[in-house]
């Protein structure tokens, strides 16, 4: 029986697969549309990053603008917010920048002596001659003219930063009207929930940047005091490295440690150990005390989300993309926990509401 069925099946002619012109045209159109969308996304990627950066900046300053709004109109409150930030930056520059520039000038004067010491040490080790290192570095700098594009990149970054600042001003001024318009399209039964979710998303976006800046400032002050007590030269510039290093997740503190160890190496091995111990203590203090306490009042984003957003944003938009991607990833997390998870649980028969993410 099975043999007869096999023979009948084998005796049937093989039916070819033919694609008519409609299928081919539809496939070609789908591919063309896909490539067009990818091209458009690539073209608007940089402007989109500037827009997202402006939103993050606006949400960072939103609490201050809301405080000013208690005493004046919204537009004047936003203007007062940015004037306050500019005045604070000018005051900080007049207070710290002269001292930093003085110490950086002293450091620049010591660079030739330090370079000579490093060169002598390399020659003594015999691994490679200092002349070979110099030739290699000169060859790397000559290849492709990598340094030629640095001024253009800096100018482009400043223009994008200025655009982000102006867009953030418009975002803050128009935020109440846009929120009212959005809430008018939400069913009345859902408006209270939508208000809570929108407020939590805004708090997460701006709260992360506020929390990082506050944590960086606290650790920079502690680092300056510790380096001064140890007796390390250029304590103020090294503390500023610590502050800016805190703005870069994961790798920032390690990057800030490197110049501190280099400067401490000229004072001896014991100084290197003390500086290393100080920075390890700072990291312990950050992870167990400063960061949890600050972020508890600002925005809580899990480390796994921070690392993923850092990698994804950095691969797309470099350092700015990484910094912008982290608060946006936190906002997406809030939307998932507040909107998607409860509905999935309801479909699965679990009527317990999703736990509200801590902020």
Q: Any idea which of 187-191, 257-261, 263-267, 317-321 has the lowest mean pLDDT?
A: 317-321
Cα 177 versus chain centre, distance: 29
Phi, psi (degrees; rounded to nearest 5) at 315: -70, -25
Of 265, 65, 244, 46, nearest to 170 (Cα)? 65
- pLDDT confidence of residue 190: 82
Give the integer Cα–Cα distance in Å for 88 and 161. Answer: 18
**What residue spans define the domains of the chain?**
45-111+154-185
For residue 57, what are the contacts with CB-CB under 8 A and spacing of at least 6?
164, 165, 168, 209
How far is 357 from 104, CA to CA, in rounded Å? 44
Please spell the DSSP secondary structure of 34-103, one letter per residue. Answer: HHHHHHHHHHSHHHHHHHHHHHHHHHHHHHHHHHHHTTS-HHHHHHHHHHHHHHHHHHHHHHHHHHHHHH
Q: pLDDT band at residue 83, thresholds of 50, 70 and 90?
A: very high
pLDDT at 332 over 80: yes
CA atoms within 13 A on the CB side of 16: 3
Check the CA dihedral 221-226-229-232 and report its sign.
negative
How confident is the model over 284-330, as pLDDT tens digits? 887 777 777 776 666 667 777 777 777 777 776 666 677 778 888 88
| Interior angle at CA 71, CA 68 and CA 74, nearest 5 | 60
User: For the purposes of burial, counting CB atoms within 10 Å of the CB of 310, is it exposed (0-12), middle (13-18) or buried (19 or more)?
Assistant: buried
Q: Kindly provide the residue ranges of all beta strands, DSSP E only, lying in the chain, ordered along the sequence.
A: none
Cβ contacts of 196 within 8 Å, gap of 6 or more = 338
The answer to whether residues 64 and 197 touch, using CB atoms and an 8 Å cutoff, is no
Neighbours of 50 (CB within 10 A): 19
Cα(316)–Cα(46) distance, integer angstroms: 9
Q: Are 279 and 253 in contact (CB under 8 A)?
A: yes
Q: What is the residue-averaged pLDDT of the chain?
A: 75
| pLDDT range class, residue 13, cuts 50, 70, 90 | very low
DSSP letters spanning 156-192: HHHHHHHHHHHHHHHHHHHHHHHHHHHHHTS-GGGHH
pLDDT at 10: 47
Mean pLDDT (whole number) for 267-290 = 84
Share of the chain above pLDDT 90, in %: 3
329-357 per-residue burial string, b: 16 or more CB within 10 A, e: under 16:
bbbebbeebbeeebeeeeeeeeeeebeeb
pLDDT in tens, 192-205: 888 888 888 888 88
Q: What's residue 283's pLDDT?
A: 84
Q: Let me know the angle formed at the C-alpha of 348 by 345 and 350, rounded to the nearest 5 degrees.
A: 55
């Amino acid at each position: 029986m099975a043999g007869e069925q096999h023979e009948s099946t084998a005796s049937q002619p093989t039916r070819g697969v033919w694609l008519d012109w409609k299928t081919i045209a539809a496939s070609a159109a789908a591919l063309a549309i896909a490539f067009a969308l990818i091209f458009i996304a690539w073209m608007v990627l940089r402007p989109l990053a500037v827009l997202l950066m402006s939103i993050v900046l606006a949400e960072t300053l939103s609490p201050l603008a809301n405080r000013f709004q208690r005493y004046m109109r919204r537009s004047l409150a936003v203007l007062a917010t940015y004037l306050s930030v500019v005045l604070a930056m000018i005051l900080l520059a007049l207070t710290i920048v002269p001292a930093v520039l003085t110490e950086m000038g002293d450091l620049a004067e010591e660079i030739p002596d330090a370079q000579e010491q490093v060169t002598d040490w390399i020659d003594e080790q015999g691994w490679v001659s200092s002349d070979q290192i110099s030739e290699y570095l000169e060859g790397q700098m000559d290849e492709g003219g990598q340094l030629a594009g640095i001024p253009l990149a800096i100018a482009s970054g400043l223009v994008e930063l200025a655009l982000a600042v102006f867009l953030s001003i418009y975002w803050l001024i128009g935020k109440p009207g846009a929120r009212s318009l959005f809430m008018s399209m939400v069913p009345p039964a859902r408006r209270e929930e939508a208000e809570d979710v929108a407020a939590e998303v805004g708090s997460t976006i701006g709260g992360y940047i506020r929390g990082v800046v506050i944590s960086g400032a606290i650790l920079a002050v502690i680092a300056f005091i510790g380096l001064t007590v140890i007796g390390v030269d250029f304590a103020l510039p090294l503390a500023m490295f610590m502050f800016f290093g805190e703005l870069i997740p994961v790798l920032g503190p390690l990057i800030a440690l490197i110049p501190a160890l280099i400067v401490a190496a000229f004072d001896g091995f014991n100084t290197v150990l003390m500086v290393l111990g100080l920075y390890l203590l700072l990291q312990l203090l950050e992870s167990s005390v400063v960061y949890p306490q600050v972020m508890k009042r600002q925005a809580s984003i899990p480390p796994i989300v921070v690392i993923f957003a850092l990698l994804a944003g950095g691969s797309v938009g470099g350092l700015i993309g990484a910094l912008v991607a982290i608060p946006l990833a936190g906002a997406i997390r809030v939307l998932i926990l507040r909107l998607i998870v409860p509905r999935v649980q309801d479909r699965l028969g679990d009527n317990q509401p999703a736990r509200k993410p801590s902020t």
